[in-house]
Structure formats: C-alpha cells, structure tokens
Amino acid sequence: VDHVNNLGWTALLEAIILGNGGAQHQQIVALLLKAGANPNLADREGITPLRHARSHGYREIEEMLVATGGSH
C-alpha cells in the first residue's frame, strides 16, 4: 500500500495530486487509508498528503487524513 514509485509518490499521494477531490478520489483515499496507507509519507519535496490536500482545497480528503493521523 505504501509503495513509492519513480516520482517519489505513494498511491495515496497520487490519488490526491492527480485527483480532483471528488467522490471517486475520496473513495480511493478512504480505501487506501483503511488498507493501512501511511498518511504521513511525504513526496520527494517533503510535502505530506495532508499538505497537498489542503493546497488543493480538498476538505473531505483533508478530514480523512487528519482522522487517521495525517500531519502537516
């Protein structure tokens, strides 16, 4: 679940960075978190999933990440 690809992204980061914050991407994020994805694994620049969600204005995803221990 926490595999890091060549871009330095996990599946959770991809769902946020490449997503649109809509219902489908919210469901993907929820499933990844339920499966044990680490909400604090940052990208190569040190930006966490929570920071990406906040910068995109994805409130629902932000709330999921905070609820599962996501920080920054």
Tens digit of each residue's pLDDT (9 = 90 or more) over 6-65 = 999 999 999 999 999 999 999 999 999 999 999 999 999 999 999 999 999 999 999 999
Give me the residue spans of the domains in the chain: 11-67
Residues 54, 16: Cα–Cα separation, whole Å: 10
CATH 2.30.300 for domain 11-67, yes or no, is: no
20 token code pair:
């649109």
pLDDT band at 72 (very low <50, low <70, confident <90, very high): confident
pLDDT value, residue 59: 97
71 pLDDT band, cuts 50/70/90, is confident
